[in-house]
Amino acid sequence: MKYMAVDKQENKNKIGILGGTFDPAHKGHLSISKEAKKRFGIDKIIWAVTKKNPFKGKSSLSLDKRIKYAKKITQNKIDKPAKKLSENIEDQAKEATRNTEINRKEPQKEPYRGMKLSMDNLDYTFKVGTRYWISEGETEFAHCASVACGGGITAVGAITGSLGDPTSKLEYTSLRNRVFELTSDLEISNVILQANVGLRDKGDTGSFRDFDWITDGATGLDGTVFEFSDTISPVKDVSLKYSVWDIGYKVDMGSYFKGINVSVTPFVGYVRYNEMASAYGLFDLPDDLGAGDGLTIGEDTLVIQNQIFWAGQRFGAEVDWNINPKANFLANIAYVENMSVRNEDSHVLRGDLGPTPNVISTGEGRGWMIDLIGKYAYDNNLGFEVGYRYWRFEDRNAVVAFGPAFTSDFPIRQIYSQRQGFMIGAE
């Protein structure tokens, strides 16, 4: 570090410049600045934080972090008396020179002093924020309960035959939710801890559609599988809850590639996702072989309720591109493995299936989670963001059981939940 005083004219303010890497800024820098002001009659001292010290290796902190911490030190501590150092400025300089000469001859080991955490010297940032996710999603599952899959025989009017494969498919589509989300981000010396929690009570809308298939083999025909039931119901209530926890390590790519203002944070984490939809009324569509098209159950009657749970481990990376000092673009991409899935169907008008939930599917799954976010810093304490999110979870191996006994498991042909939409937020 070098100290330089500028005094061009007697009637001008004296300004001192203290240059260095400030890796990190500490009370010694404050003491030097105060001593210089007193000895040389300097009115103002400017700290010039350099990008890199040519005599040092890689800096432990990024330039932005060193600048921020230097500002924090000067704003919070500059007007407070610093602790008196054991030696004056000249003695400190001599001691530093002597230690340098000793280290050149024989490297000295730092004695172990135990684990000590000082908030004055700890480089950390903590951010909290909110997001508003305007999302739309769908959940679908299909199963096989035919003779070929271990099922039985059914009768529909005058048509009797084996159940088809798939036997039934339930589609919950256009599930619209406006989700309020809380976010938190703690960074301690490049270790990143993140947590997001989303919550939306009932009140949004969607559509439910139910398909059923059967073969005509028992009638002596060719055994063709055909659709015999097709109904639709409006979804009046949709509930969505989720939470995401991650831990990662931030790597400044600018330390390896000159001129690149990009950081990459590989992470591991955990996600829980819970969605519930309630459908009311029932309309027979034209291709239904039952009562024909038209309203068969009023829209004030709850006919079916579906609730699905997903939970699993996340593995991914967050890429943060600093476009300029105020704007950056962030991409958070994760693959979810070892997911557990539980889907609970409540056919409230099916007394033969017993108490609700009376159709339960369980199994394993996987998923993908993608967040693309642009951020703008209004000042050091407030920023705004806009982005787009796409999440999808699907089963790999699942079975379904029917009440009231739940003694038989039939194979699931498909289960998935998918949700996407734009986000706005503040941090």
pLDDT the model gives residue 80: 40
Q: How far apart are CA 306 and CA 172, in angstroms?
A: 9
Query: Which of 54-58, 62-66, 364-368 has the weakest average pLDDT?
Result: 54-58
237 versus 388: the higher-pLDDT residue is 388
280 with 302: CB under 8 angstroms?
Answer: yes
Q: How far apart are CA 404 and CA 406, in angstroms?
A: 6
373 with 424: CB under 8 angstroms?
Answer: no
Q: How far apart are CA 66 and CA 80, in angstroms?
A: 21
Q: What is the pLDDT of residues 63-92, one digit of tens each?
A: 777 788 777 777 764 434 333 333 344 454
Q: What is the pLDDT of residues 220-272, one digit of tens each?
A: 445 677 787 889 999 998 999 999 999 999 999 987 887 789 999 999 999 99
Q: Give bridge partners of residue 50 from the DSSP assignment.
A: none
Q: Give bridge partners of residue 169 from the DSSP assignment.
A: 142, 211
Q: What is the mean pLDDT of residues 146-155?
A: 68
Which pLDDT band holds residue 93 (cuts at 50, 70, 90)?
Answer: very low
Query: Which of 120-124, 384-388, 390-394 has the weakest average pLDDT?
Result: 120-124
pLDDT over 70, % of the chain: 78
Q: What is the pTM of this model?
A: 0.70
In the structure encoding, which two tokens stand for residue 326, read together? 């105020």
170 with 208: CB under 8 angstroms?
Answer: yes
Domain-wise residue ranges, the chain: 2-105, 124-426
Model confidence at 104: pLDDT above 60: no
Q: What is the pLDDT of residues 156-206, one digit of tens each?
A: 444 456 788 888 999 999 999 899 999 999 999 889 999 999 987 666 789
Which pLDDT band holds residue 39 (cuts at 50, 70, 90)?
Answer: confident
Q: Which residues contact 238 (CB under 8 A, 6 or more apart)?
A: 175, 176, 177, 200, 202, 203, 204, 205, 206, 275, 276, 277, 278
pLDDT the model gives residue 98: 52
Model confidence at 394: pLDDT above 90: yes
Q: Which long-range contacts (CB under 8 A, 24 or more apart) does 27-35 make?
A: 27/73, 27/77, 27/82, 27/83, 27/120, 28/85, 28/92, 29/70, 29/73, 30/73, 30/74, 30/77, 30/78, 30/82, 31/82, 31/85, 32/3, 32/89, 33/78, 34/82, 35/88, 35/89
pLDDT over 90, % of the chain: 47
Q: What is the mean pLDDT of residues 334-352?
A: 95
CA distances for 222 relative to 161, 215, 226, 382, angstroms: 11, 9, 11, 69
Model confidence at 155: pLDDT above 60: no
pLDDT the model gives residue 86: 35
Q: How far apart are CA 256 and CA 150, in angstroms?
A: 60
Q: Which residues contact 6 (CB under 8 A, 6 or more apart)?
A: 14, 15, 16, 17
CA distances for 265 relative to 12, 155, 191, 359, angstroms: 49, 58, 9, 42
Q: How far apart are CA 376 and CA 383, in angstroms?
A: 5
pLDDT the model gives residue 137: 95
Q: What is the mean pLDDT of residues 109-115?
A: 39
Q: What is the pLDDT of residues 20-37, one digit of tens each?
A: 887 777 777 888 888 888
Would you call the peptide bond into 404 cis, given omega within 30 degrees of 0 as the criterion?
Answer: yes
Which pLDDT band holds residue 153 (cuts at 50, 70, 90)?
Answer: low
pLDDT the model gives residue 55: 62
5 versus 396: the higher-pLDDT residue is 396
Model confidence at 380: pLDDT above 70: yes
> What mean pLDDT is reported for the chain?
81
Which CATH number does the domain 124-426 belong to among 3.90.79.10, 3.40.50.970, 2.40.128.90, 3.90.320.10? 2.40.128.90
Which pLDDT band holds residue 97 (cuts at 50, 70, 90)?
Answer: very low
